[in-house]
Structure 1
């Protein structure tokens, strides 16, 4: 019995299924979570299928969350998509169901769930859900295809990142056969507000870059307030330093309301998730997140990036 068959058998065994994903969602988090919701609703119309979590305002154009009561977890199957670590699961009731399944594509450093499927070769959790549907014979519909396609596009950087494989493109092509406005989706994902454009200008003007291509920029609360940008909205500029040819790896330090820093780490080819793990974080080899609890730790993280690139050179 394959892992996909095991997952499908569990889905068939439960009347209520509640799907979670990670906090501060991106298109793949929403795409995999709600794409799975639409897939299961389409194939099992008599089951109750719900998605829970914070309705991120910048992503409500993709999908909305459901109202999920505590009582809904009684005897329910819970599935968590696109979430490597338990502390990052949005809505801590994920443990309140009868059975827990983890479906993810990040390194499996935090093994959880009664059943789990982690494929680090997949570009995205949405790719895994698409593969699951096709391999098990579940019927896709337009809405599920739209969400899963958005998730794949989001996590591959519009098919630019190294995680994009021939299988990724094959599955995306199959999703593209369904009826949804992919051009409108592409425009939506590629557009940003005027305030984000101004923030990008600030990043270009204030980015610090060393001789080996290590770069950083700090976004303070004062600065975010000045540009009227939320923490979630600031994620729109995470790829901005990488557009500069001399930049190889970079860190964006985003000050939080409590004075700590959320650290977004990115790299073109040098593996940087080890640095993230050293600082209360983790993620993909070239795209990770960490946490910093002082200005001194900010300096330490940037120095580690600089040292890594100096050693490589």
Structure 2
């Protein structure tokens, strides 16, 4: 079993460095920090580090460690919640002695010496918890809190289709630990006034066709006017879906170089094929892509419209 192979590698190495994807979300940080804390709890003699850029909007969950180049010498590297190598935060992941991938996205980039991908899992945090429980490792209260946070984040508070009975069982197990899950839920469900105003902009400027295909464009000027960063715009990715007539949608976020990061979401129609055609990928109902012109923005929207028209 892959879990046993992963455990054996963890036992073998004195230094373990854990990576996750760029522009992290709660599941990326939850799975990364959760695994770090599990290993530290069960193997206190090991040097276990989490690397990547600190995302200010998620610093309340956890912060990264300082990792030197020398730490990678004869180290085990584990990457969580990252589908492909271009998205791995911190390019030094190749400098270790052995590489493990743990993920729940479609395994189209099977990097690593050991690959554990479970697309039936709601989140990477669910997989990490499952790993610990299966192989008999202890969890600390802090590990349980960040893993629970990751599951809640990637399931949309247990509302998304990826939520299974196993997800609920694992979440219930994590709730047995001592952490303030109510405070965590309030923190995840709250946002600053500028995000509330940006949500108003999205509702005012959302274009929706007769089949429920929707789009909105967030230009550099719009983000500047609302004083939000690109990372902060992730808070409104689910906003169009709250409208009952919206079925699938694209949020085009302009980058400083004039290209667009495209966030694709859908209630039922599978949209990751569209993402793949536009330099992206992801889950069937939640994907990301890249657009390099206004014309490509229009093309992506037309593909969503055609998908729903069928």
Corresponding residue for 1:298?
297
Aligned: 1:185 with 2:195: no
- Cα displacement (A) at 1:235: 0.2
Q: Please name the residue that 1:148 is paired with.
A: 147
Question: Shift of the alpha carbon at 1:42?
Answer: 0.5
Offset of residue 304 of structure 1: 0.2
- 1:203 & 1:278 partners in 2: Cα distance? 26
> Is it true that 1:198 corresponds to 2:162 in the alignment?
no
TM-score (norm 1): 0.99
Corresponding residue for 1:130? 129
Distance 1:295 1:85 in 2: 26
Counterpart CA distance in 1 for 2:251 and 2:139 is 38
CA-to-aligned-CA distance 1:154-182 (integer Å, 9 cap, x gap): 00000000000000000000000000000
Counterparts of 1:3 and 1:259, CA distance in 2: 43
Instruction: Give, in whole Å, the separation in 2 of the partners of 1:216 and 1:13.
Output: 50
Hey, which bits of structure 1, 4+ residues long, moved more than 4 A?
Answer: none
Distance 1:109 1:274 in 2: 13
Q: Determine the C-alpha separation between the residues in 1 that align with 2:25 and 2:137.
A: 25
2:253 is matched with which residue? 254
> What is the rounded CA distance, in whole Å, between the counterparts of 1:12 and 1:258 in structure 2?
45
Q: What residue number does 1:55 align with?
A: 54
TM-score by length of 2: 1.00
Alpha-carbon offset, residue 26 of structure 1: 0.1
Q: Please state how far the C-alpha of 1:9 moved relative to its aligned partner.
A: 0.1
Name the CA distance, whole Å, in 1 between partners of 2:240 and 2:217.
Answer: 12
Partner SS for 1:263: strand
Once residues 99 and 256 of structure 2 are traced to their aligned partners in structure 1, the CA distance between those partners, rounded to angstroms, is 33
Q: Which residue of 2 aligns with 1:218?
A: 217
Return the alpha-carbon distance in structure 2 between the equivalents of residues 259 and 49 of structure 1. Answer: 39
Taking the TM superposition and a 5 Å limit, the aligned residue runs for 1:60-139 are 60-139=59-138
Aligned residue in 2 for 1:16: 15
Matched pairs, number: 310
Instruction: Give the gaps of 5 or more residues in structure 2.
Output: none
Residue 239 of structure 1 aligns with which residue? 238
* Superimposed CA distance per residue, residues 215-252 of structure 1 (whole angstroms, 9 cap, x where no aligned partner): 00000000000000000000000000000000000000
Counterpart check, 1:288 vs 2:261? no
For 2:271, the equivalent position in structure 1 comes to: 272
Supply the distance in 1 between the matched residues of 2:108 and 2:245 (Cα, whole angstroms).
Answer: 32
Cα distance, 1:139 vs structure 2: 0.4
Q: Distance in 1 between matches of 2:137 and 2:119?
A: 23
Instruction: List alignment gaps of at least 5 residues for structure 1.
Output: none
**Aligned-residue offset at 1:29:** 0.1
Shift of 1:296: 0.3
Q: Deviations over 1:95-143 (max 9, x none)?
A: 1000000000000011100111000000000000000000000001100
CA displacement, residues 11-56 of structure 1 (integer Å, 9 cap, x when unaligned): 0000000000000000000000000001110000000000000000
Alpha-carbon distance in structure 1 between the residues aligned to 2:36 and 2:267 = 33
- Give the Cα separation in 2 of the matches to 1:58 and 1:39: 24
Deviations 1:192-228 (A, max 9, x none): 0000000000000010000000000000000000000
